Amino acid sequence: MSRSRPFINPDTNEITWFDIRAPAKAKHLELLADFEEIEVDDLLDAELSQRQVLYRLHKLENKIPQEVLEKRRKKLEAGPVVCRICPTYGWECEGRITKHHFVPRWLLLELDHYQRYASRAKSTIPICISRHRDLHFRSENQTPKSIVNFLENPEKELAEQALRELRDTRPAIFSLISDGNFRSYEYQLVRDFTEGKFRT
């Protein structure tokens, strides 16, 4: 019996194939995030299988309101958003873009003044899903863990403020990260802050 199962996107009529015994790939997670109207970030650590993603898609398939479908169509017509990382290195970008919290959301939620940083328009940057996953994997890969060079000045200022507040109000967390896994995105973030790289 074949392990492959198709899913036809009702927005685009595009077919996505699923191997029901394999872990979910970036394209599957992005499709599910789009259907569930959540950020891909919320799925990256779930370690979903392709079977689990397909099951959730089929549950949602017939329950999508018409206004949501219309919103998706407009988003597709608006054209692509560009990844901040791939063009810098001349890499071919897969084109599936996520909103990456350059200061991770779990850290922002630890801050007393979370509302200052809550707006996704201010606290995220566009990064393709493969680079996004690389940033969060605690292992060596092609994508650099330091985000500083991909931020614009207002974003650097926001990161500086948030990390300063984390250091001053949550010193135990700050210390835990700075003494932690040197391959982690958070470690590099705190190190860049300590070295003053976010100052503009």
Q: CB count, 10 Å around CB of 145?
A: 21
Instruction: Please give the pLDDT value at position 198.
Output: 94
Query: CA 125 to CA 107: how far, in whole Å?
Result: 16
Domain boundaries, the chain: 4-77, 95-194
Counts for the chain of helices (H) and strands (E), in that order: 12, 4
pLDDT digits (tens, 9 = 90+) for 72-115: 667 666 666 789 999 988 888 877 788 889 999 899 999 998 88
Cα end-to-end distance, the chain, whole Å: 59
pTM for the full model? 0.62
From residue 81, how far is each of 12, 18, 33, 53, 66 by CA, in Å?
18, 26, 17, 25, 24
Pairing label, strands 4-8, 124-128: unpaired
- Residue 85, amino acid: I
pLDDT digits (tens, 9 = 90+) for 114-147: 888 888 888 999 998 888 888 888 777 778 889 9
Instruction: Please give the pLDDT value at position 166.
Output: 95
What does pLDDT average to over the chain? Answer: 85
Kindly give the interhelix angle for 50-61 and 26-36, rounded to the nearest 10 degrees: 30
Query: CA 85 to CA 83: how far, in whole Å?
Result: 6
Q: Strand, coil or helix: what is 88?
A: helix
Instruction: Please give the pLDDT value at position 68.
Output: 67
From residue 112, how far is each of 42, 60, 100, 109, 169 by CA, in Å?
22, 36, 22, 8, 8
- Return the structure tokens found at 189: 């973030």
